[in-house]
Structure 1
Amino acid sequence: MDEKLFNPSLLYDLDFSTTSCTFKPTLGPKEPGEGLVMRPLERSDYAKGFLNLLSQLTKVGSVDGEQFVEQFERMKKSSNHYVVVIEDVIRSRIVASATLLVEYKFIHGAAMRGRIEDLVVSDRMRGKQLGKLLVETLLKLAVKLGCYKLSLDADDQVKSFYEKFGFRDGATLFMQLRFFD
């Protein structure tokens, strides 16, 4: 069995009896669709095309297998990265992924804030509700972990997708300073 980024029971114990949106057919972490498995990122996912999937979202750059494993180990050790993947087990390929990053705070009684990052569904798998399933899963996981707030960055073209889950424009201006592309 391959090393996982976090304990899979965190996903499989989530209560999907109520959801922010409707799934037709019904989906959940235990049943993401025929031939698919939802699970934490594994050390071996480099060979299953994880970085190729991410390249459909943004520039990945040159990352070899050794660098992947080193970054995996850093994320696992930090215990605040929850990278969830959906694998097409027939093809042994990662076809969807999203990350919940948990930030420990001193405010709100030393609470935690959740942040959704790097949500991507393979272009050949779009339309199968996998993006919805990943967002709903991370939303429920953030609540289970005790996050007081969950946020994300989104382009205007996908704003309506996230509004279905209850996300709204924040009261603060988002700004950034990039050091590298």
Structure 2
Amino acid sequence: MQNGLDDSLLFPSRLLEELDWSQCSAQFKPAISATAPGDNLILRPLQASDYDTGFLQILGQLTSVGDVSREMFQSRFDSMKACKDTYYILVLEDICTSQVIGAASLIVEQKFIHSAAMRGRVEDVVVSKDYRGKQLGKLLVQTLTLLAKHVGCYKVTLECSDDNIKFYNNFGYEKSAENYMVARFKD
């Protein structure tokens, strides 16, 4: 327990160890993986104590986070953890600074179609400005793509700007013919 927060992981870290990297579609030079992301870095599931390690600040480099209190964070963490096999949030931590320097999410949706299959969605991929150019965004996306397959998703999707299409093509993602529509209720 750190600062009153439960240090439990959002999902079992063994899932990262079970990934089949022989199915990796991206190339890493130099070689990195979920179990060896680089010097002084670890890739792991989100834990409740990440409220104090910069997780929300990293998300703030991607989009508006708002004012999230410790209690709000813990409540959301507990809610996500209770939805077993649904939320897989990865963080990259610099173990020298004990700070989160990257994050990405896989959300698994249970369906009735495709014989009651599951669909994955990759979201909220971000790497700290100070750590970009080290293949870490690529590592996050590849790990979540392999994880989606490992947990049984029949497909995995993501949303991106036109500028990022080429990046995501490296992982086997293709631009679909469907239109992406949105109805926003909050920023």
Match among 41, 46, 49 for residue 51 of structure 2: 46
1:84 paired to 2:90? yes
> Which residue is 1:60 aligned to?
65
Q: Following superposition of structure 1 onto structure 2, how do residues 162-177 of structure 1 map, counting pairs within 5 Å?
A: 162-177=168-183
Matching of residue 109 in structure 1 with residue 115 in structure 2: yes
- Give percent identity, aligned residues only: 50
Pick which of 9-18 and 66-75 moved more: 9-18
- C-alpha distance in structure 1 between counterparts of 2:83 and 2:119, whole Å: 15
Partner of 1:160: 166
Deviations 1:107-126 (A, max 9, x none): 00000000001000000000
Letter in 1 for 2:102: A
Give 1:18 shift: 4.1
Give the alignment's Cα RMSD to 1 decimal.
0.9
In structure 2, stretches of 5+ residues that fail to align are: 2-6
Runs of 4+, deviation exceeding 2 Å: none
Q: Which runs of 5+ in 1 are unaligned?
A: none
Code of the residue aligned with 2:50 in structure 1: it is: D
State whether residues 103 and 124 of structure 2, in contact with CA within 8 Å, keep that contact through their aligned partners in structure 1: yes
Q: Provide Cα deviations, 1:124-167, integer angstroms capped at 9, x if missing partner.
A: 00001001111110111001111001000001111110011111
For normalisation by structure 1, the TM-score amounts to 0.98
Residues of 1 paired with 2:21 and 2:167: CA distance?
Answer: 19
Structure 1 residue 17, shift from structure 2 partner: 3.0
Alpha-carbon separation, structure 1, partners of 2:163 and 2:69: 32
1:8-42 superposed Cα distances (whole Å, 9 cap, x missing partner) = 00011112134211111111111000000000000
Within 5 Å, give how 1:89-104 maps onto structure 2: 89-104=95-110
Q: Distance in 1 between matches of 2:20 and 2:175?
A: 27
Query: What is the TM-score normalised by the length of structure 2?
Result: 0.95
Task: Give the number of equivalent residue pairs.
Answer: 181
Of 12, 30, 38 in structure 1, the residue corresponding to residue 35 of structure 2 is: 30
Q: Are 2:148 and 1:146 aligned?
A: no
Match of 1:123 among 126, 129, 132: 129
